[in-house]
Amino acid sequence: MAKITVDSGYMWLGLYFVLNLSLTLYNKIILNNFKFPYSLTAIHTLCGSVGCYILYLSGIFVPAKLGDRENIIMVMFSVLYTINIAISNVSLHLVSVPFHQMIRAMTPVFTVVLSIIFLQKHYPRKIYLSLLPVVLGVGFATSAEYEFTYIGFILTVLGAVLASVKTIVTNRVQVGRLKLNPLDLLFRMSPLAFIQCIIYAHVTGELESVKEFSAEHMTYNLASSLLLNGLIAFGLNIVSFTANKKTSALTMTVAGNVKQVLSIILSILIFDYAINSTNAFGILLTLLGGAWYGSVELSIKRNAAQLLPTVNNNTTEDKYDRKSSDIQSHLSEKRDVVV
């Protein structure tokens, strides 16, 4: 029987669910009074920057020494992070929320396709099968009258693809050739993302609106709420990067889908959000699919661990879970394409 240790991937995945759900619901409350999503993201990244710097001064982690090529990768990663947020927010203005959620539900599929194309990764058939109820379940859970424009459709799909790329790159940066500590990655990414968010808020005119709002409506309670929101986001980033490193990119995308449905359940309980029988069926289907996927992955890893002393690296399990040397070699050749 597999033992789940204090530092196991599943423990970090559990923390990811708790913090992600907390931040999602907290963001909904904050944005009712502070309607500036890019400025709110800037607050998140500022808290990440300050928090990581404090941890660095405390000796909690030591930043790795990177060359020019690796530093360029960090800059590109931060740009990817910021663009992903920007496109997601812009697309929400052009399509209905249910349609947006349905397209984002395809993120695990994009993750599989991109991993196969760029990382030469192979997945057992059970993994593919377990993804079907997750994707279909979110579709049923968010079913409504889908409204969208063609440009909105393109941006929503692009946002889902970028979310997949970001998750894959996050995983490879931490377990590939760079092997960055999650805190080190956040330490490098947060200041760059903060600057980019401020620039985007300025270009869109949101920054000027924030100044006017703050002069008239900013209170101590709201400022404290924004700070607490940023601290939760900082904790979530640490947990998210660590869970990504200790599990896999695909696991994180599936976890994101299940989290989305759990958010709907909590919305029903907290905000009296109405659902029909189709929505309820979708919620149940997604949760069952997420549990199935987790069971399949755990079984594969357990079998791989048992076979490790007696089989070579050409087994199906090894291709799925321990192709580190091949992937690192291939990634060094494809790094520019993936990032």
pLDDT reported for residue 116: 87
Reported as half-sphere exposure (CB side, CA atoms, 13 A), residue 218 has a value of 11
Using a pLDDT cut of 70, give the percent of the chain over it: 69
301 vs 222 pLDDT, higher one: 222
Q: Are 289 and 137 in contact (CB under 8 A)?
A: yes
Under a CB-based contact definition with an 8 Å cutoff, are residues 253 and 107 in contact?
A: yes
Whole-angstrom Cα distance, residue 257 to residue 106? 9
Instruction: With respect to residue 32, please indicate whether it lies within any of the assigned structural domains.
Output: yes
Domains identified in the chain, total number: 1
Evaluate whether residue 3 is within a structural domain: no
Domain annotation covers residue 4: no
The parent domain of residue 171 ranges over 9-338
Residue 2 lies in a domain: no
Q: Is 256 helix (H, G, I), strand (E, B) or coil?
A: helix
- Look at residue 253 and tell me if it is in a domain: yes
The band of 226, judged by pLDDT with boundaries at 50, 70 and 90, is very high
Specify which residues 148 forms β-bridges with. 95
Checking if the pLDDT of 184 tops 70, the result is yes
Cα distances from 295 to residues 2, 130, 131, 251, 299, in angstroms, run: 12, 10, 12, 11, 6
Residue 1 lies inside a defined structural domain of this protein: no
Within a domain: 121: yes
Mean pLDDT of the residues in the chain:
75
Q: pTM for this one?
A: 0.63
| Per-residue pLDDT band at 249 (split at 50, 70, 90) | low
pLDDT digits (tens, 9 = 90+) for 100-127: 666 776 777 788 888 888 878 888 888 8
- Rounded distance between C-alpha atoms, residue 234 and residue 171, angstroms: 18
48-101 pLDDT tens trace? 999 999 989 998 888 888 888 888 888 888 888 778 777 876 776 677 666 666
More confident residue, 147 or 265: 265
Residue 148 within any structural domain of the chain: yes
Taking the C-alpha atoms of residue 194 and residue 202, their distance in angstroms, rounded to an integer, is 12
Mean pLDDT of 177-191: 81
Q: What is the dihedral of CA 240, 244, 249, 251, to 10 degrees?
A: -80
Over the stretch 144-156, which tens digit does the pLDDT of each residue have? Answer: 655 567 788 888 8
pLDDT tops 60 at residue 130: yes
